[in-house]
Chain A
Amino acid sequence: MIFAIFIPLLFALFVPLLSKLKERIHTGIFVLFIPLSIFLYFIRFIGKDFVPIKQTYQWIPSLGINLDFYLDGLSLLFILLISGIGTLVVAYSIYYLDRTERLGHFYVYLLMFMSAMLGVVSFDNIFAIYTFWELTSISSFLLIGYWHFKERSRYGAQKSMLITIFGGLSMFGGFILLSVIAGTTSIRELILHADIILNSNYLPLALILILLGAFTKSAQFPFHIWLPDAMEAPTPVSAYLHSATMVKAGIYLVARLSPIFSSYEWFFIIVSTFGIVTLCWGSYMAVRQTDLKAILAFSTISQLGMIMAMLGFGTKVAIFAAVFHILNHATFKGSLFMVAGVIDVQTGTRDIRKLGGLFTFLPITATLALFGTFSMAGIPLPFLNGFYSKEMFFDSTLQLTQSGNGIAQFMVQIIPYLAVIGSIFTFVYSMYFFFGVFGGKKHTMKLAKSPVEAPIGMLIPPMILVLGVIGIGLFPNAFNGTFLAHAAEAINPLSSAGHIKFWHGLNTPFIMSLIVVGVGFVLFKTKNVWKKIYDILPGRFSFNKVYDQIIKNIDIVSTKITNKYMNGSLGTYISLIIGAIVVVTGFVMIQTGGFTISFDNLAEITIIELTVAVLIVIAAIATIFSNSNLAALLITGVVGYGVSVLFLIYRAPDLALTQLVIETVSVVLFLLAFLHLPKMRKRSEKPPVKLKNIIISVGFGALMTLVGISAHSSNWFEPISDYFLDTALPIGGGKNVVNVILVDMRGLDTLFEITVLGIAALAVFTLIKLRKDKEEAD
């Protein structure tokens, strides 16, 4: 059973081979059997006596991440939607996509997406869900950018990627929190441990992070902006991903986790508020669009908001209505997208201003659109499923009784009104969509090609979906107990099969429906009059602008910051590095009380040491102020000789020897280099820079002095030097302890220092010999 999820992914491996045959057989025909067989496999689980099925496959057991397949009513509903509509979309794409397109790519992405989506809805482990969740984002990105040569496609793909991945990562954070709080990664067990989660201090954070994932994926306000731009994808993709399946992943997630959170008051407040606002804003904005797919995109946003709101309500009626509407929306919106695709292909445009009066040219398409739009509008006719779910939505808004804090109380009061307003606009844009395209005068002159009816193969998939619309509309109860009730029970165990009937008397929901139709009709007829309101409410403001500004400013600000400190000046880098050392080390030393100054164990200071030290200090300071290369070098020579004298006094003849040789060699090397160096100039820096440099250098010197003194003052362990002194002769066979250490006791260090010297010599040789400009001169 778990293999059903991976079959599309496995088959995707063979698609590139099959696409070689695309001149003879359209690749989509091979692909068609995959979702169809999954659909047929899972449809047999429908029935009154369905019990959840669980299968476990180990993936990363040490981290508690397993591929736990869990099939309950909710998963089954989604699996059937994904595979069923997937079949129809593949069938539609066979006619929609020409053979000159890169079919192999398209079907690989589509199958990838199918697997990902099946994985999201059927796994019980939150990390497995997250894995497939991101796979849906990635495959959606690939599908939106399918026509990658179009600027708008790339923009849309990037936008959807950024927004959904942002949400996905938040969700991942929420999942980690949940698994840490409850100590399990299985959703089943999380639900059992719901009380631990509800009592946790991190509950609000976990909830917000997870809802952020759900809201971005399901295009909830204000993260809805990616969905209209995703309409640059081929129409089968829009129909499949951006109406029926992927955008419902967030809905699925909220539904799946609502047994955990539903008793938490803020869950109701946040989810319902965002849902209702999305419903109103989406339907309001849809009326403004001129592109067919944009109307449908905003319509999808609004319908998703409605489902989300119902999940937020969490009552028996609301949950059942939500599940019912998930099914209904998938049917009519899928068909409407396909209709939009047909119109696009047959007329060459999707601009509603250029279209009109197509009823006589495309009668079948028009009929299909009629059912789709009227169902979407929720017109009270007994064969349209949209009406039932809308009715139940109104019913659920009226049945809200939320006790608790003031916000929840206020929302209970206001939600029915918002629901009616959102539905009125839904009615308006549905009518606008239908009559704008098919009604009114014909102006075929504006069209690129003269419209004729589409090939029948292209019309069959939307026909099947419309048949679904009517079928559910005519026999709602056939789906009820066998199928939807199980899904509703999975979300809320108290929920049972609601009895759906067309006429339940002249009750409030029906009156609300009548208001929607009445006011909607008036608004639709007077649209040109009140259209100006769009100049006021969204006006020049839009969330797209906010998004664009954020993207643009991130770029600008980060460039600015980088240019500020990465200015190419070594002086700046050094002062940053040294400054950081001073601040960090100083802070740590002060915080931990690391500075200790004690005057025990001090040796006597002799006159000669003092003299040499004073001379070195004078020479070192004079080096800074000397104004020619050679003078600086000669004065530094005093420091070098002084150090070697100190070595002599402190009885380190080997060090003194080496120091002398190195000092002399470096003098010679400097003299060699001086020939090629420019004359030393007085550094002219502005006083603030000079002051900064002085502060940093003095600070660093002072810090190192204090660290040195502290290190000497704190004597933690016995030195190991006695061991060397005792054993240099017996073990090392030498009287010179320094040399015995260098070549016997710690010979490895010496070996690598020799290597360093070797490399340095080679590097010098290479630098001198292999000069690019010299080669070019030759």
Chain B
Amino acid sequence: MTNDILILTENILDSVTILCLVGISISLILLVYRVLSGPTNADRAVALDAIGINLVAVAAFVSVILVTTKLNDAILLIAILSFLGTVAIAKYLEKGVIIDRDMD
């Protein structure tokens, strides 16, 4: 009885994961379209940030599929780095420099 429930959950889990991956893939494709065509660089930067967030999801689903916890570091890192990258690009777009020389 319990086995049946387990198998059922597993099947549901698998299907859901694949479904989600497909969804994210579509989202990625659309985002890449935005990066390529984006009329301004700000559009591209936002799209790239969104790609970063999507990558977090991809990494998470891959770790579910592979049944591993080894990718958790990567998930965290993607989140941090995509944030850093976006900040850097935003600052560049805004001010033209990333690191200010004089602090006053």
Interface residues of A (CB under 8 A from B): 607-608, 611-612, 615, 618-619, 622, 628, 630-631, 634-635, 637-638, 641, 644-645, 648-649, 651, 653, 656-657, 660-661, 663-664, 667-668, 671-672, 674-675
Contact partner of A660 (CB less than 8 A), chosen from B22, B36, B74, is B74
Interface of B is mostly: helix
A675: chain B residues within 8 A (beta carbon): 96-97
Report yes or no: B98 in contact with A672, Cβ–Cβ below 8 A: yes
With the chains together, A645 CA to B66 CA distance in Å? 14
Report yes or no: A653 in contact with B36, Cβ–Cβ below 8 A: no
A653: chain B residues within 8 A (beta carbon): 70-71, 73-74
With the chains together, A634 CA to B97 CA distance in Å? 17
Report yes or no: B77 in contact with A660, Cβ–Cβ below 8 A: yes
**Which single residue of chain A is at the shortest CB-CB distance from B45?**
A634
With the chains together, A628 CA to B21 CA distance in Å? 33
The range of chain B's interface size is 35 or more
Report yes or no: B58 in contact with A645, Cβ–Cβ below 8 A: yes
Known: A657-B77, A667-B88. 17 other contacts (CB 8 A): A618-B36, A622-B36, A630-B44, A630-B92, A631-B44, A637-B35, A638-B48, A645-B59, A653-B74, A656-B71, A656-B74, A660-B74, A661-B77, A671-B88, A671-B98, A672-B99, A675-B97
Contact partner of A645 (CB less than 8 A), chosen from B48, B55, B97, B98, is B55
A663: chain B residues within 8 A (beta carbon): 81
Min Cβ gap B99→A in Å is 7
Contact partner of B98 (CB less than 8 A), chosen from A607, A637, A668, is A668
Known contacts: A635-B44, A648-B58. The answer to whether A608 contacts B25 by CB under 8 A is yes
Min Cβ gap B77→A in Å is 6
Report yes or no: A657 in contact with B74, Cβ–Cβ below 8 A: yes
Per-residue 0/1 for B51-94: is the Cβ within 8 Å of any A Cβ (1 yes, 0 no)? Answer: 11001001100100010101101100110011011001100110
With the chains together, A608 CA to B24 CA distance in Å? 9
Known contacts: A611-B25, A637-B85. The answer to whether A649 contacts B62 by CB under 8 A is yes
- Asked if B41 is at the interface of the complex by the 8 Å CB criterion, the answer is yes
Min Cβ gap B68→A in Å is 8
Report yes or no: A664 in contact with B84, Cβ–Cβ below 8 A: yes
B96: chain A residues within 8 A (beta carbon): 675
Report yes or no: A664 in contact with B81, Cβ–Cβ below 8 A: yes
Known contacts: A641-B51, A645-B55. The answer to whether A634 contacts B89 by CB under 8 A is yes
Could you list some 6 contacts between A and B, CB below 8 A? A611-B28, A615-B28, A637-B85, A638-B48, A641-B55, A663-B81
Contact partner of B21 (CB less than 8 A), chosen from A608, A615, A619, is A608
A661: chain B residues within 8 A (beta carbon): 77, 81
With the chains together, A364 CA to B27 CA distance in Å? 114
Known contacts: A631-B41, A651-B66. The answer to whether A607 contacts B25 by CB under 8 A is yes
A649: chain B residues within 8 A (beta carbon): 62
**Which single residue of chain A is at the shortest CB-CB distance from B78?**
A660
Contact partner of B44 (CB less than 8 A), chosen from A608, A634, A657, is A634
Report yes or no: B58 in contact with A671, Cβ–Cβ below 8 A: no
Report yes or no: B22 in contact with A657, Cβ–Cβ below 8 A: no
With the chains together, A260 CA to B28 CA distance in Å? 86
Report yes or no: B51 in contact with A648, Cβ–Cβ below 8 A: no
Task: For the complex of A and B, list the 5 residue pairs with the smallest distance between their C-beta atoms, beginning with the closest.
Answer: A634-B44, A611-B25, A664-B81, A671-B92, A630-B41
B99: chain A residues within 8 A (beta carbon): 672
**Which single residue of chain B is at the shortest CB-CB distance from A653?**
B70
Contact partner of A648 (CB less than 8 A), chosen from B41, B74, B89, B93, is B74
Min Cβ gap A36→B in Å is 85
Min Cβ gap B94→A in Å is 12
A607: chain B residues within 8 A (beta carbon): 21-22, 25
With the chains together, A645 CA to B56 CA distance in Å? 10
With the chains together, A635 CA to B44 CA distance in Å? 8
With the chains together, A671 CA to B87 CA distance in Å? 12
- Asked if B8 is at the interface of the complex by the 8 Å CB criterion, the answer is no
Min Cβ gap A122→B in Å is 80
Min Cβ gap B22→A in Å is 7
With the chains together, A635 CA to B51 CA distance in Å? 12
